[in-house]
Amino acid sequence: MTTTPASTASASTTPVGTALSRSHRFEHRIRRAFVASATTVGLVLIFVLNPDAALVYATNMFGALRTPGEPAFIAAHRGDRASFPENTLPALGAVLDSDFDFVETDIQLTADGVPVLFHDETVDRTTNGTGLLVDYTLEQLKTLDAGSWYSRDFVYLQVPTLDEFLAIFTSSKKKAMLELKGVWTEEQVRVVTELIYARGVQNRVIFEAFDYATLTSLQNAAPVFPRVLIQRYLPADPVALATRFGVIAILTSYNSVKKQPDAVTQLHEAGLGIVLYTLNKKGKWSDALTLGVDGIITDKPSLLDDWLADNAPGT
């Protein structure tokens, strides 16, 4: 038996039905107009009260999501660490003067709560000091030599503060991936975002973190900043995990995406990006492009740039 929608049947049969139908349509229009006005008022209020509040999508930061074979963006890992001591101003400054898209760096807090750019938990590998970074005040940290371990050409280079980096970043057009190392509270996140706002570069930074509590702090304290979740091993449902933390992309390892290549399509279909770290060999760059990932974090940004120019159309 076929059924006829009640409103259609009655509207075409009786004057009472026609009147009812008109009244329904009128009510429907009023309701739609009300919802539209409420949404407009809400959006206006959001932007008036907080002009920085806007949804940031992967495409805003990465350009279009890639299809297989398209060139991925380049993010220089800890600055240009192939040519300079990692996470120092010369390494980061070299990227700001380059053709690379992103500079990636790591942020930690000193004992007195100042954000500095530093990767390891201890200062042993990349300075002439010893012990945990978190035990050093900024004044103490600034006495360390962060260049000689790499080359005598960089003797007495200092560990930079985040603000020293932002000062040179301001005049560039690059974008930065700022990884919050370890576990951060909302209050600590605000120390960083205040520096970013003070330099006016809030539209060119993405936060990254491995730690779930840190991602939650970012969500609560800095919801308008785009976030990326770092997962060495992809979960079975990467879209669900990305959605849980409201991130624009997942940053994962080469091996993980090779085992689970469907993750690229799944994330892209959800409007999310996928970026790989840390890829330094041509064979892996080639595989990354074949997979259709959006970006590659590398220690060898100049070599990757040259390789892309020779091997990927459109660069």
Closest distance between Ca ion and the C-beta of residue 301, in Å?
Answer: 14
> For 298-307, b where at least 16 C-beta lie within 10 A, e where not — what string?
bbbbbebbeb
Binding status of residue 77 toward ligand G3P by CB under 6 A:
yes
- Choose from ligand G3P, Ca ion, none: what does 277 bind? Cβ within 5-8 Å by kind: ligand G3P
Helix (H) or strand (E) holding 193: helix 186-199
Closest distance between Ca ion and the C-beta of residue 176, in Å?
Answer: 12
Q: Residue 279, SS3?
A: coil
What is the identity of the amino acid at 300?
K
Closest distance between ligand G3P and the C-beta of residue 209, in Å?
Answer: 10
Binding status of residue 61 toward ligand G3P by CB under 6 A:
no
Q: Nearer to ligand G3P by C-beta: 20 or 211? A: 211
Q: Which residue has the tokens 């006005």?
A: 37
Gap between the Cα atoms of 4 and 9, Å rounded: 6
The contact pattern for ligand G3P, residues 254-283, with x = CB under 6 A and - = no contact, is -----------------------xx-----
* Strands 175-180, 102-109: pairing kind: parallel
The contact pattern for Ca ion, residues 141-180, with x = CB under 5 A and - = no contact, is --------------------------------------x-
Per CB under 6 A, the list member of 101, 179, 299, 305 interacting with ligand G3P is 179
User: Which residues are registered as beta bridge partners of 231?
Assistant: 252
- Choose from Ca ion, ligand G3P, none: what does 227 bind? Cβ within 5-8 Å by kind: none
Pair 85, 146: CB distance under 8 Å: yes
Subset of 93-122 contacting Ca ion (CB under 5 A): 106
Spatial CB neighbours of 15, under 8 Å, sequence gap ≥ 6: none
Binding status of residue 106 toward ligand G3P by CB under 6 A:
yes
Q: Nearer to Ca ion by C-beta: 106 or 305? A: 106
Gap between the Cα atoms of 132 and 315, Å rounded: 42
Binding status of residue 299 toward ligand G3P by CB under 6 A:
no
Residue 293, number of CB atoms within 10 A of its CB: 29
Per CB under 6 A, the list member of 104, 294, 299, 305 interacting with ligand G3P is 104
Q: Which residue has the tokens 């008109």?
A: 22
Residues near Ca ion, by CB under 5 A: 106, 179
